[in-house]
Chain A
């Protein structure tokens, strides 16, 4: 079961990669990237990286807490299409991490690391622009 679920998740993440690639491309092209004031971007990055570490170690509640902190921080500091969409993805991930059985945590971790990777790209592009 795990093999099938992980393959399915990998396919979903390919779809999401295309989706975020096109969204980020549109925002770069139109100059509509999020503005992250002061050190908020670094704090959010630290929270999400820590949550990825947590889900890798299989700590369900640590991941939920860090994920929730990231979502609240993200919506509290910036308003933009990109961060709103990613925020929704992390929120859905947080809820799923809370609900799924232990056996599915490994599969959910793939989803989680993917969200972290997307955030790193958005943060990098927004910082360099």
Chain B
């Protein structure tokens, strides 16, 4: 019962993570239903209508009910500990935001019980999402649920911003905060600026559907393209909202397991800000297939290529941090290194899309599906798995099993790449995304079967990971305060931390306050 009323940031953080796990399992099952349906040509395991519901719910779930909440959960749990605070700045807002988000998720899934889950895709383009083409209540549930979730996300983002702005320990300037905090701050500011575009789109859509307005109805002077513009003004920053905190985790983990401070801290921090600005100027690359005029396309193509520069800088910073370091390949580090490779694959296919002619050729094919999964699974989820293995000892007080960890790592890596890499080829061969079934064309059956087998392997890998979490919670070795010999303040408190994190608020003089404490003879601040 205590958890229902919890306002302590550590409990709220855990609640976020648990709800995200629950929805991750639901979204994973939806993915497996799709992969089963696509395993062979001309299969008819489920109806086309059900298939549409599956990909709509899978996308909506993974973005809004898994990626965002789990990253918020890590932020809410870790930020106060990392900046030497005992609580979030607005604790009750934190709890309210979580329950809004969860209520939105429940509302979305309730649509299954009405027999009419949304089926217009996770970006529900008008006019498909309009009443004449989606007459059931599914899109209404979808839009109302997303309104709740967006409200919760904005609330938690505001809370994180105010916390980072006002609760830092004495001496901790913005030049000294851990990079996870920096990136959580930037992602939160982006939520404040980007989510309102989603809310505005949803208000317009609901006006059309429930109050007979005509915002997206061209026959009545409306403009369906308006939906695409507004949705992607939200949607592209959203990509960075769910990837920047993951970058932050990588920026904490790689230095600790390389025994070197991060290479180029100011570049990693400022390139994040550059990404945030640029991400508002690239939304049209989701709409290149629309005839918008050459100059217009050229501007957005250039901006989309430009955003690869600050992103690439980070990759180089992480590699340079590892260079010459005494690397410890724990499971957390394995996932972090795999992140570098998988995310780079997604990043490179992303740059390909910035070239308009390439985009025209592969838009709405499985090439896009492969790209988004390399970015969001290969990127965000791999970083999250690294983060779970890294911070699990802090949150639970127990170590995760390294042997099971290695097994889960290799099975997940093999399963994920088998499932998704072949989708690049399917896309280039012309297989459109969201297609219910396909004819027996050369290679289509084989590659799809490989993808389905890969997905099954991936499920098995996730199963091993969850077993490891469960077993380690019960039987794991005691972790102690600082099992990794790390440098940031969360490792200065007990594992798990007490309700009051810090008996005494620490004073901070460098980026590695714990190093300073362990090495009073050569603290960082003396070298600077």
Main secondary structure of the interface of B (DSSP, over half): helix
Q: Which of A14, A16, A29, A81 contacts B226 (CB 8 A)?
A: A29
Pick from B33-41, B200-208, B384-392 the stretch touching chain A: B200-208
| Given A26-B215, A85-B203: A19 and B196 interface contact (C-beta under 8 Å) | yes
Chain A contacts with B in 1-53, Cβ cutoff 8 A: 3-5, 7-8, 11-12, 14-16, 18-19, 22-23, 26, 29-32
A 78-115 to B, binary, CB cutoff 8 A, 1 in contact else 0 = 00010001000000000000000000000000000000
Contact status B221-A31, CB under 8 Å:
yes
Chain B residues with CB under 8 A of A14:
192-193
Q: How far is the CB of B293 from chain A (nearest CB, A)?
A: 17
Chain A residues with CB under 8 A of B204:
23, 26, 81
Q: Which of B158, B159, B162, B207 contacts A81 (CB 8 A)?
A: B207
Q: How far is the CB of B455 from chain A (nearest CB, A)?
A: 37
Chain A residues with CB under 8 A of B90:
4-5, 8
Q: Which of B162, B203, B221 contacts A7 (CB 8 A)?
A: B162
Contact status A8-B196, CB under 8 Å:
no
Chain B contacts with A in 186-241, Cβ cutoff 8 A: 192-193, 195-197, 199-200, 203-204, 207, 211, 213, 215, 221-223, 226, 230, 233
Q: How far is the CB of B200 from chain A (nearest CB, A)?
A: 4
Chain B residues with CB under 8 A of A22:
196-197, 200, 230, 233
Query: How many A-B contacts are there with CB distance less than 8 Å?
Result: 72
Chain A residues with CB under 8 A of B215:
26, 30, 32, 81
B166 at the interface (CB under 8 A from A): yes
Contact status B154-A15, CB under 8 Å:
yes
Q: Which of B166, B195, B213, B230 contacts A3 (CB 8 A)?
A: B166
Q: Which residue of A lies closest to B188 (CB)?
A: A11
Main secondary structure of the interface of A (DSSP, over half): helix
Contact status B203-A81, CB under 8 Å:
yes
Chain A residues with CB under 8 A of B479:
none
Chain B residues with CB under 8 A of A23:
200, 203-204
Contact status A16-B196, CB under 8 Å:
yes
A 57-73 to B, binary, CB cutoff 8 A, 1 in contact else 0 = 00000000000000000
B333 at the interface (CB under 8 A from A): no
Q: For this complex, into which size category does the number of interface residues on chain A fall? A: 20 to 34
Q: How far is the CA of A5 from the CA of B161 in the complex (A)?
A: 12
Chain B residues with CB under 8 A of A12:
154, 158
B492 at the interface (CB under 8 A from A): no
Q: How far is the CA of A85 from the CA of B147 in the complex (A)?
A: 14
B89 at the interface (CB under 8 A from A): yes
Chain A residues with CB under 8 A of B157:
11
Q: Which of B89, B195, B200, B222 contacts A4 (CB 8 A)?
A: B89
Contact status B192-A30, CB under 8 Å:
no
Q: How far is the CA of A30 from the CA of B224 in the complex (A)?
A: 11
Q: Which residue of B lies closest to A9 (CB)?
A: B158
B93 at the interface (CB under 8 A from A): yes
Contact status A18-B193, CB under 8 Å:
yes
B 162-201 to A, binary, CB cutoff 8 A, 1 in contact else 0 = 1001100000000000000000000000001101110110
Contact status A29-B223, CB under 8 Å:
yes
Q: How far is the CA of A30 from the CA of B204 in the complex (A)?
A: 12
Q: How far is the CB of A17 from chain B (nearest CB, A)?
A: 8
Contact status B200-A8, CB under 8 Å:
no
Contact status A18-B196, CB under 8 Å:
yes
Contact status A26-B200, CB under 8 Å:
yes
Chain A residues with CB under 8 A of B161:
7-8, 11
User: Can you offer 29 A-B residue contacts whose CB atoms are under 8 A?
Assistant: A4-B89, A4-B90, A7-B161, A7-B162, A8-B159, A11-B157, A11-B158, A11-B192, A12-B154, A12-B158, A15-B192, A15-B196, A18-B196, A18-B197, A19-B199, A19-B200, A22-B196, A23-B204, A26-B200, A26-B204, A26-B230, A29-B223, A30-B222, A30-B226, A32-B213, A32-B215, A81-B204, A81-B207, A81-B211
Residues of B within 8 A of A (CB): 89-90, 93, 154, 157-159, 161-162, 165-166, 192-193, 195-197, 199-200, 203-204, 207, 211, 213, 215, 221-223, 226, 230, 233
Please give me the 6 A-B residue pairs with the lowest Cβ-Cβ distance, nearest first: A19-B196, A18-B196, A22-B200, A11-B158, A4-B89, A81-B207
List 16 other contacts, CB 8 Å, given A26-B215, A26-B230.
A3-B166, A4-B162, A8-B89, A15-B193, A18-B200, A19-B197, A22-B197, A22-B200, A23-B203, A26-B200, A26-B204, A29-B223, A32-B215, A81-B203, A81-B211, A85-B203
